[in-house]
Amino acid sequence: MTFDIIDPLFNRYILHNAPVKKLATGFDWAEGPVWFGDHSCLLFSDIPNNRIMRWSPEDGLSVFRADARYANGHTRDRQGRLVSCEHGARRVTRTEADGSITVIADSYDGRPLNSPNDVVVKSDGTIWFTDPHYGIGSDYEGFKAESENPLVVYRADPEAGTLEVVIDDMKAPNGLAFSPDEDLLYVADTGRMYENDPSHIRVYDCGSDGTLSNGRHFHTVDPGKADGFRLDTDGNIWTSAEDGVHCIAPDGRLLGKVLVPEKVSNVCFGGRAKHELYVTATTSLYRVTLNRRGVQWP
C-alpha cells in the first residue's frame, strides 16, 4: 500500500498507480532536500557523513560537497543561489554562482548561533531560519557544544545586513515554510521529542513588513514529528512523519499519508512540473509523483 486515505479529498492529490520509488540509499540521516529545476537535479544533506549529495534523473547520485560543515536544511534564494544551514560551522551561508561562500549569519548578540536547522527565503529576499540545538547536542550531526543563544527563529536581511529574532516562544523550532501567498508562516516545534510526544506545527500571520502575529497551534503530527515540510499550490502542507509524509489541509485536517518504509525527515517538490515529491527518509531518498504542484521556486 502506497497511500493511506484519511479524507476522500486526498484522492484529488494523489495518483493511485504512482509508486513510492527508492532513488538512492546508503546515507545515515538524509535531510534538507532542495530542487534545482534549471539543472534538473536535487541536492540534499547526509548530515552525519558531513556531505551534500546530488541526485539527478540523468546522472544518478554523486557527492556535491564533501566536508559540508554538517549541513542540514537548504533552500534557494530568488537569484537561484543555494542557501544552507550548517550545523558544524553554526551558521547560514549562501553559495554564489562562482562557488564562493557568503556568510549570512553566524552569531546573534555577539554569541554564536546554536545550529541552524532549516531555512526559507521570502519573495522580498529575506532569509528565515530556525536555530535549535540538534547540531550541538552531540558529535553525531556536528560538534557537541554549549548553547549560547536561545532556541529561536530568525529573519536575516542580507541587503540591510540585519538579523532579528521573530519567534522566541518555541522549545525547538525546526521546519518552516510560507503559505503560497506568504500571508502565513508555518513553523514546526519539535521540542518535545525527548519526551516521546508528538510534535506540532504552529502558524503565524505574516504582515507585508515581515512582522508575525497571532501565533497558534495548527496541527499535531502523529506519529513522528514535523522535522521538515513544504506546501502545494492549494496550500496543503506535506510534512515529515514517522510513517511517511502526511498531507494536512489549510484548516489543519489530516487528509492522508504517503507511506514510506523509513522515518521521513523532510520533503521538497521538484520535477518538470514541480509535481514530484522528493522525500529524504533516514538512509534513503524516495520520490512519489503527485497530482498537484508544489510551491517551489524556481
Question: Which parts of this chain interact with Mg ion (CB under 5 A)?
Answer: 117-118, 174, 227-228
Report in angstroms how near the CB of residue 239 gets to Mg ion at its nearest: 11
Nearer to Mg ion, 149 or 174 (CB): 174
Report in angstroms how near the CB of residue 188 gets to Mg ion at its nearest: 8
Nearer to Mg ion, 118 or 189 (CB): 118
Report in angstroms how near the CB of residue 298 gets to Mg ion at its nearest: 23
Residue 5 CB neighbour total at 10 angstroms: 16
Owner of C-alpha cell 512519489: 288
Report in angstroms how near the CB of residue 228 gets to Mg ion at its nearest: 5
Nearer to Mg ion, 13 or 229 (CB): 229
Q: How far apart are CA 149 and CA 107, in angstroms?
A: 9
Nearer to Mg ion, 86 or 227 (CB): 227
Closest CA to 19 of 248, 277, 265: 277
- Cα 141 to the chain's mean position, in Å? 16
Report in angstroms how near the CB of residue 117 gets to Mg ion at its nearest: 5
Nearer to Mg ion, 171 or 293 (CB): 171
Nearer to Mg ion, 93 or 117 (CB): 117
Report in angstroms how near the CB of residue 178 gets to Mg ion at its nearest: 16
Closest CA to 270 of 53, 92, 75: 75
